[in-house]
A and B are shown apart, each in its own frame.
Chain A
């Protein structure tokens, strides 16, 4: 009987080609995702770790790979930060620290950064996955390992909380941009 199918060598070559495509399409976005969330000297390690996991588990990476990669990077970041906090007592340094822009932030921008900083990590992640990473809610949900419905609820509440935080710091601007904000009785 003649065995029909691809050889191991062909499989390897196909895997390499698929991974190269995946890497070239997503490396920049993964690197920026990581750079937005950790100290510069850790970025390379986390990005490398993310793509190593992707390479080893290539068969598990879905066709829409970006959410899967960001979810992996998120876990790698969490591991890095947990270890750092525990062992080096550098908690303050590894906390959410957006990289400084070349330009001086305006008052509004500064208030937005402050307001983001005050959000719960989960809320902040929900908003920034949409605003910074450009994901659709369904993609962001996959990155966080949630259902789309659950993510949409979280996003809605996160936006409310962000708007409220902005209102605290920058009432006139906040009102002009997002309109009057009422307390949501469903939240507690």
Chain B
């Protein structure tokens, strides 16, 4: 009786309670049945007939690499050459829109992707959905890659672009056949990562795992691609000849990327931001500033963060900075691309609108507009971590993007009498918070790279500015 009560008690805290009702694993069942079937039991005597000796030797060779080969053959389907559907094209366009903004104003710091020539590379199916990998050429003679997630259920909604990586150029260490491997985390299905590496002169490329086993990579248009589980990380990539002899190896250098807070999985960040590193550039298309510039709000209620560009007696205009708008328009026009609407939005002032006393054009604000009328306005807070690239008595600039050679700092905040002392020099890493465009705090930052984002208030916003 005592034992029964104890079991009952443990049963009451079952984290996944449920009966043994109908299962919903039809997709998995179909995939499993599509793999080679059960191994037949064969008699040793029959196997040892001379004509089977060669088969046995080949069998041992295959047995050396069973799990990973099975994984790749089972899950990675090639969709090479399929033209990209509109959601994928839009994801690449979003990259262009954000990159022209980041590259402000006179430096093409980021590659420009030819979204119209995007093609499918590979597709990975799991029980919960599929991840497809698409590639498009960019203006640096290399490629950009985007992952698109599609849920398995009919109600899963539209495909969702997740992360995008652009190679800056054809990157080879030496005259060898392998370029620099690029690992791209997949934040929607984080247990699976993709790796791609540029290759030349070889068709056989393999992932090499710590225990020595190898799995083949797919070679597509001079680039080898593979997926692997995050729990089974390869240590190197090898180019092999027709008989499997290794021609060259390149360390995979796989490690868990760190997010802004130094945590091992950037997907855990509530607001994953653009990250720059290695030989390429990555961004999360669906996060914060990296989405396409918003359309002109048609909803009667909208919230907007941006620069206060214009104030008249009857309206205010908030959006991207004027120099950003000019650059975006010029760059996109030069590429023959459509200029997105919503680069800035106008909101009417009524007698019920909050006072604008103390707000000035050029400040970063957060507004709420209801039925076209301003209902609240506050100073917006933004953080950035990166290298101090500009420092004067009046302002501080943080180059969080690490775009090389003199790119203008992405975030510039003014220093006021109420701002804290800086205590840092140009070239040092720092983490800053700015409110309304004014420096609010600054502290030392490690060398974990750069980032930037908005600070969302946890309490309801006041409708007037701080004293």
Which residues of chain B have a CB within 8 Å of any CB of chain A? 2-3, 5-16, 18, 20-25, 28-29, 31-33, 35-41, 70, 74, 126-128, 189-191, 229-233, 256, 264
Residues of A within 8 A of B13 (CB): 98, 105, 109, 112-113, 116
Chain A: CB-nearest residue to B191: A41
Q: How many A-B contacts are there with CB distance less than 8 Å?
A: 149
Find out whether the CB atom of A84 lies under 8 angstroms from the CB atom of B231.
yes
Find out whether the CB atom of A32 lies under 8 angstroms from the CB atom of B38.
no
**Contact of B28 (CB < 8 Å), options: A35, A36, A51:** A51
Residues of B within 8 A of A179 (CB): 2
Find out whether the CB atom of A45 lies under 8 angstroms from the CB atom of B191.
yes
Quote the shortest CB–CB distance from A125 to chain B (angstroms): 12
CA distance A162 to B23 in the complex (A): 33
CA distance A132 to B16 in the complex (A): 9
Find out whether the CB atom of B32 lies under 8 angstroms from the CB atom of A48.
yes
Q: Find residues 83-131 in chain A having any chain B CB closer than 8 Å to their own CB.
A: 83-84, 87-90, 98-101, 105, 108-109, 112-113, 116, 127-128, 130-131
Chain B: CB-nearest residue to A26: B23
Given the interface pairs A16-B33, A19-B33, A159-B6, the reply to whether A83 lies near B232 with Cβ below 8 Å is yes
Which residues of chain A have a CB within 8 Å of any CB of chain B? 11-12, 15-16, 19-20, 23-24, 27-29, 31-32, 35-36, 41-42, 44-45, 47-48, 51-52, 55-59, 79-80, 83-84, 87-90, 98-101, 105, 108-109, 112-113, 116, 127-128, 130-132, 159, 162-163, 166, 177-179
Find out whether the CB atom of A83 lies under 8 angstroms from the CB atom of B6.
no
Other A-B pairs, 4, CB within 8 Å; known A51-B32, A55-B33, A109-B12: A23-B32, A57-B39, A101-B15, A162-B10
Prevailing SS type, chain A contact patch: helix
Chain B: CB-nearest residue to A54: B32
Given the interface pairs A27-B23, A52-B74, A163-B6, the reply to whether A15 lies near B38 with Cβ below 8 Å is yes
Residues of A within 8 A of B15 (CB): 35-36, 98-101
Find out whether the CB atom of B21 lies under 8 angstroms from the CB atom of A132.
no
**Contact of A52 (CB < 8 Å), options: B11, B41, B70:** B70
Chain A: CB-nearest residue to B28: A48
